[in-house]
């Protein structure tokens, strides 16, 4: 490929509204352009990189027995309604009506379609286990797309689905995916951390996420460097010792005029935040035919509520912050609230286990400008549920070994789910077992966002000059250019461009009449792993100037050895990535 014909310009400066280095690097390198919020065009460079990523994913899926297929992007609402997700999923599922006034949706995942296919294609236990996958467009109508390709609305996903006759078979395929994903990310050059996660809208029993740990990530992770425990904060557990409050003391109402926040209560009463019971209110929905109910969540004053944990505990279909009038309706007073004195059944009272085990805490009096001293769960109010509903925090005790947990951010680049029979039962995916009985297919679901993976690679592999992508995903492996006005030198460069291509090196030829500085800057912006310069000076020195993108210094390689040198370097770089894949899977 010749740069003079390449579609997509480099940018000397990134647009002013760009926040992340990956977004900046991909824009400046001429990889992507935004059409609308969260919707991108992928220019030829990005297209080549994305196809290389897809090929890595495809090879590893085939390695564990996957069969590639293609499923529709547009789905009839009926299959989503049969699994209950039509109503359970919020506005990220883009719904519309077709010309016949039928409800339709743009796919954000394909569990329903796979289960429908299994219902028609799987008849006997002899057809199981089975593994199918696709590389297909998805659409999530994100409220706040961000970070360029980190969180988009339209994206390509590698999604695969395992079909088994029993749980043991599903676990075997789950483990195969677990290792295959580690190989995929290693071959692409992206370090990942596998964490326990919430099953979310997918359902099922067990899930893991593959996280690229980075400050730009929206997910919060709890990591124990002592024993290796790691989990998404949504499901992370931790050890906390209760604060000894001594013997139970009688309730005492005290005046606290205008004191509504935890900080102001602690300061006004001269107590630590650990001695305060904090009330947080939500409205929970339990289905289309059931009215919402106020959830009265109580955590210690120095902690926050784990929204996902609370939603899962209460089995709420939806959970949102409560409005003041909804709080008042049950007899509570916002800013001065507690479960004390609230009529039983008026709200769902959920108390963090640490609050339940701590004595003599300050809480609201459900009266404006008043708080209560010495409140005690079980004596002064009865919870409907008690569990760990506080979210993990820096320094909390590891649930496995007790060491201090480290809290970090990460970007989810892959996930795997043990679905069980949720979709099979809903859509009739059954088979005849060897005993002659009809049984549901046991499913697993596994996904990797292709564009997000490229974005994370761009986030990791960049410097002040642009991208520096691993050779396995870079759009071209080498760039060659002439730095000379001499016709013979230019002709020699043209010749060795052909020599490199014939040697199997994916080579970009900068054939422009641009200055050396412009050519070198563009090569760096585009993240090409190797740069070869043929100039009058290099020829006098004995050949071509050869430089790796990740190194500062160049060296002279004799022209007769150039193809072998470049090919050998490529093999070494690729082998290093393969070795890292073999080490993890």
Which positions ≥6 away from 243 have C-beta within 8 Å? 272, 274, 275, 358
CA nearest neighbour of 356 among 242, 266, 274, 251: 242
Cα separations in angstroms, 314 against 280, 351, 504, 571: 15, 12, 59, 55
**Mean pLDDT in residue range 148-154:** 91
Residue 434 has pLDDT above 70, yes or no: yes
pLDDT of residue 299: 96
Range of lowest pLDDT (138-147, 290-299, 468-477): 138-147
pLDDT band, very low/low/confident/very high, at 582 (cuts 50, 70, 90)? very high
- Tell me if the bond preceding 129 is cis, omega within 30° of 0: yes
Total domain count, the chain: 3
Other CB atoms within 10 A of residue 89 CB: 16
Check whether residue 454 and residue 483 sit in a common domain.
no
In the sheet that holds 361-367, the strands lie side by side as 252-255, 370-375, 361-367
Sign of the alpha-carbon torsion through 393, 399, 400, 402: positive
The enclosing domain of 127 has a CATH number of: 3.30.930.10
Check whether residue 164 and residue 193 sit in a common domain.
yes
pLDDT more than 90, % of the chain: 88
C-alpha radius of gyration, the chain, whole number: 29
Residue 109 has pLDDT above 80, yes or no: yes
Check whether residue 423 and residue 381 sit in a common domain.
no
pTM for the complete prediction? 0.89
Question: Which residues span the domain enclosing 530?
Answer: 476-584
Looking at residue 200, the DSSP 8-state letter turns out to be: G
CB 51 within 8 A of CB 546: no
**301 in any annotated domain:** yes
Q: CA–CA separation, 55 vs 108, rounded Å?
A: 22
The enclosing domain of 540 has a CATH number of: 3.40.50.800
Check whether residue 428 and residue 345 sit in a common domain.
no
**182 in any annotated domain:** yes
504-550 per-position pLDDT tens digit: 999 999 999 899 999 999 999 999 999 999 999 999 999 999 999 99
Looking at residue 137, the DSSP 8-state letter turns out to be: E
pLDDT of residue 13: 86
Residue 289 has pLDDT above 80, yes or no: no
Sign of the alpha-carbon torsion through 242, 245, 249, 254: negative
324-337 per-position pLDDT tens digit: 999 999 999 999 99
**19 in any annotated domain:** no
**27 in any annotated domain:** no
Q: CA–CA separation, 537 vs 535, rounded Å?
A: 5
* Residue where the block lists tokens 């029979």: 421
Check whether residue 63 and residue 195 sit in a common domain.
yes
Question: Can you state the percent helix, strand and coil of the chain, rounding each to 5?
Answer: 30, 30, 40
CB 299 within 8 A of CB 390: yes
Q: CA–CA separation, 311 vs 316, rounded Å?
A: 5
* 381 bridge partner residues: 377
Which positions ≥6 away from 162 have C-beta within 8 Å? 129, 130, 131, 170, 173, 174, 177, 443, 444, 445, 446
pLDDT of residue 36: 93
**400 in any annotated domain:** no
Check whether residue 193 and residue 299 sit in a common domain.
no
495-508 per-position pLDDT tens digit: 999 999 999 999 99
**Mean pLDDT in residue range 174-183:** 96
Q: CA–CA separation, 460 vs 437, rounded Å?
A: 52
CA nearest neighbour of 43 among 10, 18, 67, 90: 10
pLDDT of residue 203: 63
Helix/strand/coil for 152:
coil
CB 478 within 8 A of CB 557: no
Check whether residue 71 and residue 97 sit in a common domain.
yes
**402 in any annotated domain:** no
- Label the pairing between strands 544-548 and 348-352: unpaired
Check whether residue 451 and residue 543 sit in a common domain.
no
Residue 132 has pLDDT above 90, yes or no: yes
Check whether residue 330 and residue 266 sit in a common domain.
yes
Which positions ≥6 away from 506 have C-beta within 8 Å? 476, 477, 478
Helix/strand/coil for 116:
helix
The mean pLDDT value of the chain amounts to 93
Q: CA–CA separation, 299 vs 353, rounded Å?
A: 8
The enclosing domain of 266 has a CATH number of: 3.90.960.10
Q: CA–CA separation, 443 vs 420, rounded Å?
A: 5
Looking at residue 517, the DSSP 8-state letter turns out to be: H
Sign of the alpha-carbon torsion through 367, 368, 370, 374: positive
pLDDT of residue 363: 95
pLDDT of residue 460: 96
218-258 per-position pLDDT tens digit: 899 999 999 999 999 988 999 988 887 789 999 999 999 99
CB 113 within 8 A of CB 71: yes
Range of lowest pLDDT (231-245, 387-401, 441-455): 231-245
Residue 585 has pLDDT above 80, yes or no: no
The full DSSP string for 41-91 is EE-HHHHHHHHHHHHHHHHHHHHTT-EE----SEEEHHHHHHHTHHHHS-T
Looking at residue 482, the DSSP 8-state letter turns out to be: E
pLDDT more than 70, % of the chain: 99
479-496 per-position pLDDT tens digit: 999 998 899 999 999 999
pLDDT band, very low/low/confident/very high, at 202 (cuts 50, 70, 90)? low
Q: Last residue of some domain: 428, 459, 490?
A: 459
Check whether residue 200 and residue 288 sit in a common domain.
no
Hey, what are 95's tokens?
């719904």
**501 in any annotated domain:** yes
Check whether residue 265 and residue 379 sit in a common domain.
yes
DSSP element (H, E) containing 108: none
Residue 299's Cβ-side half-sphere holds a number of Cα atoms within 13 Å equal to 20
pLDDT band, very low/low/confident/very high, at 147 (cuts 50, 70, 90)? confident
**576 in any annotated domain:** yes
- Label the pairing between strands 348-352 and 385-387: parallel
Q: CA–CA separation, 413 vs 537, rounded Å?
A: 46
Check whether residue 515 and residue 554 sit in a common domain.
yes
Helix/strand/coil for 196:
strand
């Amino acid at each position: 490929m010749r740069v003079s014909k390449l579609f997509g310009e480099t940018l000397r400066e990134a647009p002013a509204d760009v926040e992340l280095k990956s977004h900046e690097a991909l824009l400046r390198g001429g990889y992507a352009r935004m059409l609308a919020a969260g919707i991108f065009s992928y220019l030829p460079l990005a297209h080549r990189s994305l196809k290389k990523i897809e090929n890595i994913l495809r090879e590893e899926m085939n390695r564990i027995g996957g069969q590639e297929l293609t499923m529709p992007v547009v789905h009839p609402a009926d299959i989503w309604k049969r699994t209950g997700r039509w109503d359970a999923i919020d506005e990220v599922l883009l719904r519309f009506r077709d010309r016949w006034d039928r409800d339709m949706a743009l796919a954000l995942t394909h569990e329903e379609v796979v289960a429908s296919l299994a219902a028609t294609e799987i008849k006997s236990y002899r057809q199981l286990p089975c593994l199918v996958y696709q590389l297909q467009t998805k659409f999530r109508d994100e409220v706040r797309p961000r970070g360029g390709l980190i969180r988009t609305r339209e994206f390509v996903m590698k999604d695969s689905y395992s079909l088994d006759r029993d749980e043991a078979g599903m676990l075997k395929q789950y483990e195969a995916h677990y290792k295959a994903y580690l190989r995929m990310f290693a071959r692409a050059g992206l370090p990942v951390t596998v964490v326990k996660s919430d099953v979310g809208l997918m359902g099922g029993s067990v899930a893991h996420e593959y996280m690229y740990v980075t400050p730009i990530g929206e997910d919060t992770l709890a990591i124990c460097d002592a024993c290796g425990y790691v989990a998404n904060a949504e499901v992370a557990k931790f050890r906390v010792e209760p604060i000894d409050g001594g013997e139970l003391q009688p309730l005492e109402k005290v005046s606290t005029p205008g004191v509504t926040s935890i900080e102001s209560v602690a300061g006004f009463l001269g107590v630590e935040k650990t001695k305060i019971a904090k009330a947080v209110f939500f409205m929970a929905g339990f289905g289309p035919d059931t009215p919402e109910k106020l959830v009265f969540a109580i955590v210690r004053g120095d902690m926050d509520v784990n929204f996902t944990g609370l939603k899962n505990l209460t089995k709420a279909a939806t959970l949102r912050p409560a409005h003041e009038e909804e709080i008042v309706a049950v007899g509570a007073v916002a800013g001065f609230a507690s479960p004390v004195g609230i009529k039983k059944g008026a709200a769902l009272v959920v108390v963090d286990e640490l609050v339940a085990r701590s004595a003599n805490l300050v809480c609201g009096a459900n009266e404006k400008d008043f708080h209560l001293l010495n409140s005690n769960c079980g004596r002064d109010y009865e919870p409907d549920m008690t569990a760990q509903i506080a979210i993990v925090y820096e320094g909390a005790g590891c649930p496995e070994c007790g060491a201090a947990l480290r809290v970090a951010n990460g970007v989810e680049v892959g996930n795997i789910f043990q679905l069980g029979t949720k979709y099979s039962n809903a859509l009739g995916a059954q088979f005849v077992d060897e005993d002659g009985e009809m049984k549901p297919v046991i499913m697993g679901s596994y996904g990797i966002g292709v564009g997000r993976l490229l974005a994370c690679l761009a986030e990791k592999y960049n410097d002040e000059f642009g991208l520096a992508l691993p050779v396995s995903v870079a759009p071209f492996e080498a760039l060659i250019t002439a730095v000379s006005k001499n016709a013979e030198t230019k002709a020699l460069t043209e010749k060795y461009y052909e020599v490199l291509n014939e040697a199997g090196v994916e080579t970009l030829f900068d054939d422009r009449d641009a200055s050396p500085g412009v050519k070198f800057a563009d090569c760096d912006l585009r993240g090409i792993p190797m740069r070869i310069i043929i100039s009058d000076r290099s020829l006098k020195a004995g050949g071509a100037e050869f430089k790796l993108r990740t190194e500062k210094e160049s060296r002279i390689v004799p022209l007769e050895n150039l193809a072998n040198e470049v090919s050998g370097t490529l093999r070494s770089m690729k082998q290093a990535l393969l070795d890292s894949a073999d080490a993890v899977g």
